[in-house]
Structures are given as C-alpha cells and as structure tokens.
Structure 1
Amino acid sequence: MKHSRIAIKIIDAEEPVFYDPVFHGRTLKVFGMDDWPAKALEYVVSAYRKLDYGTIVFDTEGSFPREGFDTIIEVRDGSPAGLDPITLASRGVLDGYTAATIVQTAYGLDRVLTERLYADFMRGKVRSVPEALSSGEKYAEVIAESYTPLDEALFSGDAPEFGRNVLVDLGGAYSITVASLAFLIVSAVVRHRRKTVVAVNDAAVLAYTEIGSAAVPLITKPLRGRVTVLGTNYVVDSIMNLSGPTLVLYHEPDTQSVIYEANGVPPGPMRRYVQKDEGAFVYRTPETINVEWGEVPF
C-alpha cells in the first residue's frame, strides 16, 4: 500500500504497519493501561518532529520530556498561568468572540449575556475576565456564581508566547476544572495551526467536564497538515466515538473487547488479545474494517 509523506510506522511486523493521517484519518485514538499511552504519544511526537512538524502537547501526568519545546505552560492550582482568554484576545492571540464563548462555556452565560460581553470587549470596556467580573453588568453576576480563586490564579500572570512547540504541563492541576479550562483556552489558541501534531494525555480526563469536552472538536476537526493523537487509560464514549483509527495497547481483556466492539470489529479472530509490547491498529475504509497486529516500536 502506498503511503503519504506524513505516514509513520506504528507497528513492527513482518510487513511494518504505518499510520497515515491522509488515508486513515487525522485523529488517532490510543487506549492502554499504565504508561503505554504516554509512551505512544512520545513516540508519535518524536516521529513528527523528524518531519518538521510543530508540536502541541497537553500532559496531565507532568512527565512528558521537556526537550524541544520553546513554550512550556505550567498549570498549577493557585499559581499564575497567564491564560485569561479576554486578555489573550486583547493581544490578538484569540479573536474576541472566541474569548467570549470560552467565558460562556466556563461560567454558563446565555447567548444574550455572551453577546453583551463581546460587545463590551469590542468597545474596550472589558480587557480581562477580572474586569468582566467587576463590571457591574448582568454577565458579571453570572460569572461570580462559579468564579473561584483558582480561576483568578489561572488568569493572572504574563501571557505565554505560544511558540511553535508548546507543552502544557497539567501535572500540578488537581482541579479538573482548572485543567479543563486551560485545555480549552490553549486549544482555542492553536486550533488553526497546520503542519502540527497535537498530543493529549489523558484525553478522557480532560474531556470529562463540559469545559474540556468543548476543546475536543477544536483540535480534532480535520485539517490538512494537522495530526491529533488522543491517549487515555479510560474507555469512554467521548473518545471512542470520535472518528479516526484506534491503536489498542495492553489493557484488561474485557476492556480490549469493549474497544473492539466500539470500533465495529466482529467477534472472532479479528479480536486478537493484545499483550505487553504489542498493539492492534484498527482502521476503517468506507467498505471495510481492518485490524493489523504486531509489536509496537516504543
């Protein structure tokens, strides 16, 4: 089978198996226990760096190697991170309406209040989330209902530069709300980037909340020149139901069965048990479901 220039080897076998975003889909889902998804993401990021791709990595474990990143955003509960969406919009990093919709998603504004917030931003009346909170407008009351000191810390500090290679270290964010909000904001910033690989671990954790789930379409929307890899220990519908191929790594037997089932693999020999250091690459065409097995190169 022919491969595009951005195909990478995903399984070692008698005939190596390649993941090709052009033919298989631009979002690769990786399921495995322990640190297998993290190993897979490190391998994929390294492979695409060799193809001169930029890298955006969201790491909930705080263990991703830091070499090769020109921007590292450390998200810690109660520590400044500079991720105020309205401030970023004021600096041209985001557009104003996207910033307003992030606030809408985070604090439950309705459509009318979101439009008012956007209008006030356009008029120069509001230049940050704290300013929106203290504005005295109706949207300020709604924001105040769920705004916490953790939010204030996340929004405070100098805004990151958002270079070509960005690591978002979420290992110190024990608040799922803080982690999800950082995930959404950075995803919005990088959503139009091409010639970029976006890697997320653990994707199921970050997509657990409404805030985090809003980020997933931003980084999985198919774009030429972009590859997204979602790694997770958890078998959840929010990740399994996304379009794109699946890499099954070592996991519990019944968990592997659920993954095969979700991908439409029929019972029988196609559902081979994946052991340590092995992988099953499941991909679809309009006519067929295909499964390739072998050892993984990481």
Structure 2
Amino acid sequence: MKYSRIAVRLFEREGQDVFYDPVYHGRTLKVFGMDEWPGKALQYFVGKYWEIGYGTVVFDTTGTFREEGFDTVIKVKDGEGTGLDPLALASKGILDGYTAATIVQTIYGLDRTLTERLYADFLSGKVKSVPEAAKSENKYSEVIQESYTPLDEAFYRGNAPEFGKNILVNLGETYSVSLAGMAFLIMGAVIRTRRNVMVGVNDAAVLAYTEIGSAAVPLITKPLRRRVAILATQYALESVMNLAGPSLLLYHDPDTQSVVYETNGVPPGPMRKYVHKGQAAFIYRTPETIDVEWGRWLSNPPGSLPAPP
C-alpha cells in the first residue's frame, strides 16, 4: 500500500510495518492507554510530525510534557493570568468578534439574544474584554456574574501569548476543570483554521468531560487537509470513543480494552486480542470491513526530541 507523506509508522513487524495514515484512515486518531502510555504516545507523534516539518499544538493535563522545542508555552495556574481573553484576542485580530462572543456564550450560558447584544457592544467598542463585559450595565453582565469567579478574573489577565508554530498548553497546574476547559476552548478557536499542524491532547476525556471542554473538540477535530488530531486518554469516555476515526489501543485493563473493541465494532473472537505492555492494537474501518492490526508499539521515547521545524 502507498502511504501519504503524513503517515506515521506504528508497529515494526517482520516483513510488514503498520502505519497510521490520516489521509486514508481518518484525520483524528484516538489513543487509549493507562498510566503514562497516552503521554508516551503523544510525545512520539510530536517527534514524528516535527520530522516532516509540521507544527504542533499540545494540550497536556498532566503537566509532564517536555517543553523542549515549543516556541510558545502557556501555563494555566489558578489565580494567575494567561492572556486568553477571547474578546481581547478579537480586538487584536486573533479571533473574529462573533467567535469571541460565542465563546463567552458557551462559558457563561448566555442565550442567543444576549450573545448578539454582546457582539454588538464589542463591535461598537463598548466592551473590549470579558471582565468589562462582566462589569457592564447590560443584561448579559447579570448572566455572566452568576458563574463568574475571581479565578476567571485572574485567568483573563495579562497580554496575549505569541501563538507560535509549536504551542504547548500546560494544564497540569490548575485544579479547576472549568479553567482547563476555558483554555481548551479558547485555544481551540485560535488554531481552528491552522493547517500543516498536529493537534495533540492528553488527557482528552478529562477536557471533553465538561460542556465547555466538549465544545472545543469539534474545533480541533474538524477534518482539514494537511491537519491531524491525536486524542490520547486513559479514560474510555463515550464522547471521545464515538468520534470518527481510527483507534490505537495500548496496554489497559481488560474491561476498558473490551469497551474500546465494542465501540469500534470489533466482533468477539480472533479479531480481539488482549494488549500487553509494549504492545498495541490499531483499529480502523475500510469501505468493506473493520481491520485490527497488532504489534509491538514503537514508542519508547528517546531522551530528547528531534529539532522542531
């Protein structure tokens, strides 16, 4: 089989290698594994896509991803600023105004009428940031204030980051799942049209668990030419498993492995094998059937990544 230039080798087997090819298999790859395995897999894919000149955007909820090679590192800490204010970003032309208003709508539960009013106030220059919107005398301020906290206030502070080619969003130092979801959604909107990029998430289930975080998933998994999304997770969350695209099953407990197989439509019997440490199963659909490839997983990341593009 002929593979595209953005295919990545998964297994090294005698006589035949197994590749994940986004062009053939689907633009979103879901990786399931326990303990450190999802992070190892994501580190591996980052290195491989750097080798072919791709940019990378990584969301890391564990706080263990290496910063080496990333030209932008955004750290989300409780009580500290990130500069990720959607309205302020729109003022700088990084987001469009309506997208920024809908982000505020998603985070604070505005209805359509209040969202339109916020957008109109942004266009007229009356409101230039989320804190200003929260303190305004308009009706949308009352709704925002119902869930607006000092953590939110601090989160929006600061200058906008320089969104480079390779971005690491470190979410491992916040205890607030709401702040993590906000950063995920806002950054997902910032990068939603990028191409020649691999977007990686670990842990995808943690970020997709809330309504705010789940709103970001379509932004980063939208099929685009020259774009790849890798969603790595320890948890078999239905909203992640049901996304279109192949799955890479790494070592996990038997129940989770069984759920992953069943969700992907793999019938019981010879097509299912228990995946041991250092092994993996690559599950993908073809026009005729479901295929499962087994082998030794290549990812035992070296001490240092290749140089970024």
Q: What TM-score results when the alignment is normalised by the length of structure 2? A: 0.96
Structure 1 residue matching 2:180: 3-state secondary structure: helix
2:235 counterpart residue number = 234
Is the Cα contact below 8 Å between 1:196 and 1:225 reproduced in 2? yes
Is the Cα contact below 8 Å between 1:13 and 1:293 reproduced in 2? no
1:53-90, Cα deviation, whole Å (9 max, x unpaired):
00100000111111111100000011111110000000
2:213 counterpart residue number = 212
Give the partner amino acid of 1:193: R
1:156-183, Cα deviation, whole Å (9 max, x unpaired):
0111011111000001111000000000
Give the partner amino acid of 1:152: E
Q: CA deviation at 1:13?
A: 1.6
Is the Cα contact below 8 Å between 1:198 and 1:229 reproduced in 2? yes
Structure 1 residue matching 2:292: 3-state secondary structure: strand
2:38 counterpart residue number = 37
Q: CA deviation at 1:286?
A: 2.1
Give the partner amino acid of 2:176: S
Is the Cα contact below 8 Å between 1:27 and 1:230 reproduced in 2? yes
What CA distance in whole angstroms lies between the structure 1 residues aligned with 2:212 and 2:57?
A: 19
Is the Cα contact below 8 Å between 1:9 and 1:18 reproduced in 2? yes
1:155 aligns with 2:159: no
1:2 aligns with 2:2: yes
1:46 counterpart residue number = 47
What CA distance in whole angstroms lies between the structure 1 residues aligned with 2:73 and 2:108?
A: 27
Q: CA deviation at 1:23?
A: 0.1
2:306 counterpart residue number = none
What CA distance in whole angstroms lies between the structure 1 residues aligned with 2:277 and 2:259?
A: 18
What CA distance in whole angstroms lies between the structure 1 residues aligned with 2:65 and 2:17?
A: 27
2:290 counterpart residue number = 289
What CA distance in whole angstroms lies between the structure 1 residues aligned with 2:279 and 2:121?
A: 55
Q: CA deviation at 1:11?
A: 1.5
1:11 counterpart residue number = 11
1:20 counterpart residue number = 21
What CA distance in whole angstroms lies between the structure 2 residues aligned with 1:82 and 1:152?
A: 11
After superposition, residues 1-298 of structure 1 pair within 5 angstroms as: 1-14=1-14, 15-298=16-299
Structure 2 residue matching 1:227: 3-state secondary structure: strand
What CA distance in whole angstroms lies between the structure 2 residues aligned with 1:92 and 1:117?
A: 17
Q: What TM-score results when the alignment is normalised by the length of structure 1? A: 0.99
* Identity among equivalent pairs (%): 68
What CA distance in whole angstroms lies between the structure 2 residues aligned with 1:87 and 1:204?
A: 29
RMSD: 0.6
Is the Cα contact below 8 Å between 1:73 and 1:168 reproduced in 2? yes
Tell me the number of residue pairs that the alignment of Structure 1 and Structure 2 aligns.
Answer: 298
What CA distance in whole angstroms lies between the structure 2 residues aligned with 1:27 and 1:173?
A: 27
Give the partner amino acid of 2:47: S
Is the Cα contact below 8 Å between 1:30 and 1:248 reproduced in 2? yes
Give the partner amino acid of 1:153: A
Q: CA deviation at 1:12?
A: 1.9
1:196-243, Cα deviation, whole Å (9 max, x unpaired):
000000000000000000000000010001000000000011100000
